[in-house]
Structure 1
Amino acid sequence: MKICFIGDSNSIHTKRWYKFFRKEGYSIDIISWNKDPEIPQKNMHNIPFNFILRIKYLRAIFILIWSIRRIHKINPNLIHIHMISNYGWACLFIKNIPIIVSIGGYDILIRAKVSRIHFFLSKLLLKKADGVTTSSKFIKSELIEKFYIKEEKIKYFSWGIDFKLFSSIPAEERKNNKIKYNIPEDYIVLFHNRYFPAAKYKILFDSIKNLNDIYSEFVLILVKGVSVDKDWLKAKRYVENLGIGDKVIFIDKFVSQGKMSQLLSFSDIYINILTHDQRGLSILEAMAAGCIPAVNNLPVYHEFIKNEINGIIFDSEEPEPISKKIYWIIKNLSELKSKFRKYNYVYIRENDDKGKNEYIMKELYMEVLG
């Protein structure tokens, strides 16, 4: 069985599905705009960018033609698009091969709203697809109401996280992990690992500046994630200009799942302020590790976080009220962590364990292939 993925090979989600279906005995090829050392080159099909094609529309046509030809060369039994992009639109011209589209969030919540072309082509692709997956009830409703996709075509389920990896780190190891980063034992650790343009980083850093004025025994760990270098450098300069350089630890390199579990093991509060999201697997990982999730008021977060029951939902996106809420969490940290951890441990084990949920995608493959 040969499957063709279309998506970012650097994405932890793409790599995870690649590894799972390889383990299940499938042959997987990936069409991507990136290369990744974890994926054998024989399975990678990278678009040979011609930098002479600097005109946006010429570049889009080039990508479209190249992708169509490459799909025909791979000749897969099934195509799985991971987030809708120019590359996925090539499937509009592919016949007699089943197609599954997994929604990323940004593709339909942001790009489709600012670009009529993206909306129109995405709508055509979603209607052509044999199956559509999302991990958010909110996004499912958007697909039905805005793109007119039939409900029976949409598969809603959480992709899940490695529950055992993130929930089972012993207390002594947590302590040692904190020492590795030279963080004082009594310091509160704030954490954010979704840094990319969708992150409202100025709000986050302004909030940290305000917090530092009333409480100083903390540090924020920030992981680069999929941020491009220029945005990452902007963030560093902004922090320095605010005078809080000693309060933010920037982690520049890609962080593996094992390393992420170590970082989360000694973190206290996971802060997430984004413009959009799906189910938020990074948040679920933090919750499994025992962190307090503190997130902005996106509809999707209400699907798995109940304010002051198993997490905190900010009621404002202004730095001052956010900093005051973080300070309130810190003052009540022990009580909140104990309460939230018990709830989240059971909830995530039952709803978001990837060991069970990965097979839902396999069942969809079988269903689409008939």
Structure 2
Amino acid sequence: MKIAILGNANSIHIKRWAEGLHSRGIEIHLLTCNQSIEQYSPGIHLHKLTPSVPYGYILAVVSLRKLLKRIEPDVLHAHYVSGYGTLAALSGYNNLMMSAWGADVYDFPTKSKAHHWLVKRNLQKAKAIGSTSHCMHKVIKDIEGFLPPIYVTPFGVDTNLFCPSEKDVDSPNKKVSIGTVKLLHKKYGIDTLIKAFALAANRCNNTEVELTIVGSGPEEENLKALSRDLGISNLVQFKGYVENSLVPQILNEFDIYVALSRFDSESFGVAAIEANACSLPVIVSDVSGFKEVVVDGHTGLVVERDNPEDAANAICKLIENECLRAKMGNAGRKHVINDYSWEVSLSKMISVYDELINGK
């Protein structure tokens, strides 16, 4: 089997798909308009298309067509409907799969009638469509009723990499650590988390707590100022950007993971299932992607988005009940192993490729 992946070579998700499929013995050609800074395994063929993004989404069509004619892949798989999906649609390649990731089908089509038309046209050019979640499957169907088959192909988690480690629970000065790993953008609701943590810290006077925020982004200074204004800057640590390879280690330093995204374009809660895989209980907002992967009251707690009071109540509930934290964390890991393991996700994707190649 020979697959050409069209997408951003610097995306961790693209890298994981390419490396995972390659590990299954599939010949992978990665076609990108981005200048790659990621390192790929020697057996993966990396092709740089010109010009670069954003012009490459349209103007790279000539170089893409030439490359596809030379490679002759069994399937051209474009990741992201609005950018690389446009380039894939313009290529005219017959056996085309297109995967939606979130904002490309939640936000982009709402910008104007022209944006909506472009996404609909791109989707109609595909022979198969991938969706990271069931909730996004419905959003795609709402864009256009007459579309090729839509397959749910979630971003799985490597449960050997994301796994619990031993914690120093006997330390007399052990604080309850609340944490998140996210880009510091408004849409991820880090400000709501800081406000909720401030409320929880004031209520839990008998327990030492700390908040760790891992990630970088345009809201960093505003969030630091918010922590100072709320009088909790001594309890909040901003760690900045960390390499993806260090995320499992970071997660294992937490006792509770919190993700309070604002918008439904958070179409698949990969951060939540990574935390669950490390046996962490999670507190998430009620956006569609989180509600799909978190079992409320079993693997974590779902709270109303943009509601610091609701989030604070959930944080206090888990701070005060160590047994509940352990119970939810253990249930979360079992849930991820059963439904969202990386090997299961790879097998689902390969089965879609098989159907496309065999004309089913």
Class of the TM-score when normalised by the shorter of the 2 chains: 0.7 to 0.9
Matched with 1:319 is: 308
Whichever structure has more helix as a proportion of its residues is: 1
**Is 1:36 paired with 2:37?**
yes
Q: What does residue range 141-156 of structure 1 map to in structure 2 within 5 Å?
A: 141-150=138-147, 153-156=149-152
How far off is 1:289 after superposition? 0.9
| CA offsets 1:49-88 (integer angstroms, 9 cap, x no match) | 5xxxxxxxxx86x334432123123214232222223332
Distance 1:285 1:339 in 2: 17
Which residue in 2 is equivalent to 1:167? 163
Structure 2: gaps spanning 5 or more residues: none
- Residue 64 to residue 279, structure 1, CA distance change in 2 (3 Å): closer
**CA offset at residue 42 of structure 1?**
6.9
3-state SS in 2 of match to 1:165: coil
Q: Percent identity?
A: 20
Matched, 1:93 2:90: yes
- Pairwise CA RMSD: 2.8
Match of 1:68 in 2: 61
Q: Deviation per CA, 1:292-313, whole angstroms, max 9, x where unpaired? A: 1101112333323232122101
Structure 2 SS opposite 1:340: helix
**Cα distance change on mapping 1:44 and 1:368 into 2, 3 Å:** same
Q: Distance in 2 between matches of 1:261 and 1:338?
A: 18
* Secondary structure of residue in 2 paired with 1:166: coil
1:220 counterpart = 2:217: no
Q: Does structure 2 retain, via aligned residues, the 8 Å contact 1:158–1:357?
A: yes
Corresponding residue for residue 328 of structure 2: 340
Q: 1:42 to 1:101 in 2, by over 3 A?
A: closer
Q: Tell me the residue number matched to 1:20.
A: 20
Counterparts of 1:123-142 in structure 2, within 5 Å, are 123-142=120-139
Pairwise CA distance, 1:47: 5.4
Moved over 4 A (4+): 46-49
Structure 1 contact 139–278 (Cα < 8 Å) conserved: yes
Compared CA separation, residues 356 and 233, structure 1 to 2 (3 A)? same
The 5 Å alignment of 1:1-370 reads: 2-23=2-23, 24-39=25-40, 43-45=46-48, 48=51, 62-75=55-68, 76=71, 77=73, 78-150=75-147, 153-169=149-165, 171=166, 174-175=167-168, 185-197=173-185, 198-215=187-204, 217-224=208-215, 228=217, 230-257=218-245, 259-274=246-261, 275-276=263-264, 277-315=266-304, 317-332=306-321, 334-370=322-358
1:268–1:290 contact (8 Å) kept in structure 2: no
**Distance change >3 Å, CA 120–CA 166, structure 1 → 2:** same
TM superposition score normalised by structure 1: 0.83
Aligned length: 346
What is aligned with 1:54? none
Superposition deviation, residue 283 in structure 1? 0.7
Structure 1: which amino acid aligns with 2:60?
S
In the TM superposition, what whole-angstrom CA distance separates every residue of 1:254-312 from its partner, at most 9, and x where no partner exists? 3223x211111231111111123223122111111111110111233332323212210
Q: Which runs of 5+ in 1 are unaligned?
A: 50-58
